[in-house]
Amino acid sequence: MKAFSDLDPLLHSQLRLAIMSLLIGVESAEFVFIKEKTGATAGNLSVQLDKLSTAGYIEITKKFQGKKPVTSCKITKQGINAFENYVNILKQYINK
């Protein structure tokens, strides 16, 4: 039997974990806000958001405000469960 549970490799990335940490506390967040808070480049952030979206952890919405494109992200129920599980496993690591 393993002493430690496996951490979700998708959430074990520093940037993806930062994105999920931001989204867990808000209804939704715009791309620019996430970019500013994480310090990520636009290209890297786009790739990581796509990975989280493909996994079903977040929903991405694209719309226009006037002529300006706006991308918003929202954590899904599956994403909340994955994040909470990740945190609980980390707590197990700390308490062993």
Residues with pLDDT less than 70, the chain: 1-4
What share of the chain has pLDDT > 90, as a percent?
86
Residue 29's DSSP bridge partners are 73
Q: How far apart are CA 27 and CA 24, in angstroms?
A: 8
> Model's pTM, two decimal places?
0.90
Structural domain boundaries in the chain: 14-90
Pairing between β-strand 58-65 and β-strand 29-30 as defined by DSSP bridges: unpaired
What digits encode the pLDDT tens for the residues 46-63? 999 999 999 999 999 999
Note the CATH architecture for domain 14-90: Orthogonal Bundle (1.10)
